[in-house]
């Protein structure tokens, strides 16, 4: 006897957006392929990155100091210089898929080698620590491949995705990635705490390497679509075009200054939590990666809707003012306390995801379709070098300078001073540069703040309670 069950169609988290935009089946498959690739890359980035818990642990075990963390973070940004010539090549050839599946895939395979460095490279110690310099060399090669990936995938996504659903798609994507990151982050933290030291980083980086490789493979199933004809550009012509665009120029200057202020201190929060406060791998993952993921899951879809309704600038202003004060939570930190890190990632992530989402949309909104790859390349180059690299190196140099002169050795130590300076720098950017950005709507930050006004909801609850009492 044959039973025929009723088919249950589970709702696709992005199905309504696809239907609203009228996407064809092939474009839906392409968008889903990008989603899957981004998901694999997001999970892999929990392990593979210059500031991850795994990288901090590996570097510390090999004898890294504060300046090393500044260098290894900066090397990933210096490679952003290559995005400008790479964008010229991509605009001229229109071979995004080919470049991602060759240069991008090849660079991601190198992550499989990071955990093998202690086994392959001899321990020389001192300033010429060969193992640490090997990590820097590998990170440089990976960063070169990432430079090519960056100028390919974001314009590719821009050409495929309709502008009407872009911010909401990105917010839903990020919520999915963060949900999966919660589970995977716990697995990584458990392995870091329980695996024997001799094989810990080999296994961890093999896992991370496999995931970031899958990120690139997913693009093989995504169709290429171009909204503009191939463009031939010169190096200086690109800069003239980008800096001649007043809207984009103001945004570039403001976001570069913001990146400097943020990375001036945030790069050293991971090493501070692990080496100075003494948190374990599991604590770092729970109160860092996972707390931030949960906050992002909660808030990013709301920010996506807010951007769609109120525009990018009002949302950015609201998010940034909270981020200005967040580094100050570390002023109260003591040995063994996880509370500052929890607050930084639980509350801070609620707002930095909104600021980042606004910035991503501004990049696309302020750049023309014909030369978007070049605009994004210059944006990434300037923000990476002047913002992230200079910011992190300046912070690291100050930490080493204060350490050599035995400055700030009391309760307010050198790290806390660095975080306080970072907070002041952020506030200056918010006060003097963000207001100069073009507003893409008639709304203001006050309109966005109404999202957090619960008085109407409380009044409704009180009314319902009174109404029920009268009935009784």
In this structure, what is the dihedral angle of CA atoms 57, 62, 65, 67, given to the nearest 10 degrees? -90
pLDDT at position 458 over 60 = no
Confidence at residue 392, expressed as pLDDT on a 0 to 100 scale: 87
Which pLDDT value is given to residue 321?
Answer: 96
Q: What mean pLDDT do residues 22-26 have?
A: 86
Cα–Cα distance for residue pair 431/49, rounded to 1 Å: 32
pLDDT category at 203 given cuts 50, 70, 90 is very high
The pLDDT tens digits of the residues spanning 335-359 come to: 999 999 999 999 999 999 999 999 9
Give residue-wise pLDDT tens across range 171-181: 888 888 888 98
| pLDDT at 6 > cutoff 50 | no
- In this prediction the pTM is 0.73
**How much of the chain, in percent, has pLDDT values that exceed 70?**
92
Residue 7: pLDDT band (50, 70, 90) is very low
Question: What is the structure's pLDDT at 39?
Answer: 93
- CB–CB of 393/74 below 8 Å? yes
**Is the pLDDT assigned to residue 308 strictly greater than 80?**
yes
Cα distance between residue 441 and residue 367, in whole Å: 17
What mean pLDDT do residues 164-192 have? 85
Is the model's pLDDT at 10 over the cut of 90? no
Q: Judge whether residue 21 has pLDDT over 90.
A: no
Q: What is the pLDDT of residue 44?
A: 94
Number of C-beta neighbours around residue 60 at 10 A = 15
Say if residue 228's pLDDT is above 80.
no
Section 286-300 average pLDDT:
87
Residue 107 has a pLDDT of 93
411-451 tens-digit pLDDT: 899 999 999 999 999 999 999 999 999 887 888 888 888 87
pLDDT at position 77 is 74
Quick one: pLDDT at residue 211? Answer: 96
Give domain 24-452's CATH architecture: Up-down Bundle (1.20)
pLDDT in tens, 264-284: 999 899 889 988 999 988 888
What pLDDT, on the 0 to 100 scale, is given for residue 454? 55
User: Is 60 a residue whose pLDDT tops 90?
Assistant: no
Average pLDDT value for the chain: 86
d(CA 305, CA 170): 11
Question: For residue 193, what pLDDT is reported?
Answer: 86
Q: What's the pLDDT at 2?
A: 44
The stretch 140-163 carries a mean pLDDT of: 87
Q: Which residue has the higher pLDDT, 233 or 205?
A: 205
Q: What is the pLDDT of residues 362-392, one digit of tens each?
A: 998 898 877 887 898 899 889 988 998 889 8
For 77, 87, 93, 108, 230, the CA distances from 81, given in Å and listed in that order, are 8, 11, 20, 19, 22
Q: How many CB atoms lie within 10 A of CB 337?
A: 15
| pLDDT for residue 1 | 40
pLDDT at 127: 63
């Amino acid at each position: 006897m044959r039973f025929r069950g009723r088919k249950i169609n589970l709702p696709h988290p992005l199905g309504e957006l696809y239907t609203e935009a009228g996407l064809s089946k092939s474009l839906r498959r392409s968008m889903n392929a990008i989603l899957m690739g981004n998901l694999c890359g997001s999970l892999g980035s929990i392990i593979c990155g210059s500031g991850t818990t795994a990288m901090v642990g590996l570097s510390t075990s090999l004898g890294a100091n504060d300046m090393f963390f500044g260098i290894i973070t900066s090397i990933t940004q210096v490679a952003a210089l290559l995005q400008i010539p790479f964008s010229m090549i991509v605009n001229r050839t229109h071979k995004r898929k080919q470049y991602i599946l060759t240069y991008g895939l090849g660079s991601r395979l190198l992550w499989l080698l990071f955990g093998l460095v202690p086994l392959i490279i001899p321990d020389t110690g001192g300033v010429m620590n060969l193992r640490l310099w090997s990590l820097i060399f590998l990170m440089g090669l990976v960063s070169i491949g990432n430079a090519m990936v960056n100028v390919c995938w974001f314009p590719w996504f821009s050409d495929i995705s309709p502008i009407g659903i872009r911010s909401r798609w990105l917010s839903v994507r990020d919520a999915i990635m963060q949900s999966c990151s919660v589970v995977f982050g716990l697995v990584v933290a458990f392995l870091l705490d329980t695996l024997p030291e001799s094989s810990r980083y080999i296994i961890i980086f093999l896992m991370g390497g496999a995931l970031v490789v899958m990120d690139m493979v997913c693009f093989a199933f995504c169709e290429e679509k171009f909204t503009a004809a191939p463009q031939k550009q010169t190096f200086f012509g690109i800069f003239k075009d980008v800096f001649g665009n007043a809207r984009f120029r103001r945004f570039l200057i403001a976001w570069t200054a913001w990146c400097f202020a943020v990375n001036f201190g945030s790069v050293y929060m991971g090493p501070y939590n692990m080496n100075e406060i003494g948190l374990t791998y599991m604590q770092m993952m729970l109160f860092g990666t996972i707390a931030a993921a949960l906050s992002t899951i909660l808030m990013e879809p709301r920010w996506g809707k807010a951007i769609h309704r109120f525009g990018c600038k009002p949302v950015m202003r609201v998010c940034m003012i909270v981020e200005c004060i967040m580094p100050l939570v570390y002023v109260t930190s003591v040995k063994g306390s996880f509370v500052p890190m929890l607050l930084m990632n639980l509350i801070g992530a609620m707002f930095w995801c909104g600021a980042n989402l606004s910035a991503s949309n501004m990049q696309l909104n302020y750049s023309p379709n014909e030369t978007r790859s070049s605009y994004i390349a210059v944006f990434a180059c300037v923000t990476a070098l002047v913002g992230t690299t200079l910011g992190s190196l300046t912070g690291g140099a100050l930490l080493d300078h204060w350490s050599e002169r035995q400055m700030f050795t009391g309760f307010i130590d050198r790290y806390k001073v660095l975080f306080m300076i970072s907070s002041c720098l952020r506030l200056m950017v918010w006060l003097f540069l963000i207001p100069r950005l073009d507003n893409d709507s008639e709304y203001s930050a006050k309109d966005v703040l109404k999202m957090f006004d619960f008085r109407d909801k409380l009044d409704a609850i009180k009314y319902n309670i009174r109404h029920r009492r009268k009935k009784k």
